[in-house]
């Protein structure tokens, strides 16, 4: 399950996802009940049912977030796009020190599953897109690299 969410996060950060909203009455009621418990202040909820998970897109404190549930209504994870200054300061410092002289930031995602918060940052330069991952402990690890197709 965690792998699915991770794959989704990578697709999200690489801009490869598309959305098909479902009517809320068609959505699994266990997932809806869990969601109401987990995010009671959520607004503008849009449901999307996929083969392996159910996704709620919503706003909380004026920020768009995505929560994932399985068919039994178990919480699988939640993620949001954040600004680089929303990263813990030690991660922001490490990013500046080791990467930002060669890359610019194109996206940052915070993802929480199983009580753990992880951060993904997408960096780009003229040649490649680099995705870094951190568990918040202060350092980034290279997660994926995509070569850019330059015609």
Q: Which backbone phi and psi does 56 adopt, to 5 degrees?
A: -110, 125
| Per-residue interface string for the shown chain with another protein, residues 4-43, x marking contact by CB under 8 A | ----------------------------------xxxx--
Q: Which of 24, 50, 98, 116 binds another protein (CB under 8 A)?
A: 116
Which CB, 109 or 129, lies closer to another protein?
109
Stretch that binds another protein, among 24-32, 47-55, 133-141, 142-150 (CB under 8 A): 133-141
Stretch that binds another protein, among 17-25, 47-55, 98-106, 130-138 (CB under 8 A): 130-138
Nearest alpha carbon to residue 131 among 140, 139, 122: 122
Q: How far apart are CA 74 and CA 37, in angstroms?
A: 11
Placement of tokens 């699915």 in the chain:
4
Instruction: Give Cα separations from 27 to 5, 70, 74, 119 (angstroms).
Output: 19, 11, 14, 29
Q: Which of 110, 122, 131, 140 binds another protein (CB under 8 A)?
A: 110
Q: Which of 6, 46, 92, 105 binds another protein (CB under 8 A)?
A: 92
DSSP string, 67-115: EEE-TT--EEEEEEE--GGGS-HHHHHHHHHHTTTT-EEEEEEEEEETT
Task: Check residue 117 for interaction with another protein (CB under 8 A).
Answer: yes
| Per-residue interface string for the shown chain with another protein, residues 49-78, x marking contact by CB under 8 A | -----------xxxx-x------------x
């Amino acid at each position: 399950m965690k792998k699915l969410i991770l794959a989704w996060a990578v697709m999200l950060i690489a801009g490869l996802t598309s959305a098909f909203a479902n009517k809320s009455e068609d959505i699994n009621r266990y997932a809806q009940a869990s969601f109401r418990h987990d995010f009671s202040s959520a607004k503008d909820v849009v449901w999307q049912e996929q083969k392996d998970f159910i996704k709620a897109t919503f706003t909380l404190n004026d920020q768009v977030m995505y929560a994932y549930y399985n068919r039994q209504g178990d919480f699988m994870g939640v993620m949001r796009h954040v600004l680089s200054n929303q990263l813990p300061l030690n991660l922001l410092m490490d990013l500046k020190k080791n990467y930002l002289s060669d890359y610019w930031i194109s996206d940052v995602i915070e993802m929480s599953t199983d009580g753990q918060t992880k951060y993904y940052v997408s960096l780009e330069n003229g040649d490649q897109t680099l995705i870094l991952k951190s568990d918040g402990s202060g350092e980034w690890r290279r997660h994926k690299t995509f070569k850019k197709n330059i015609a």
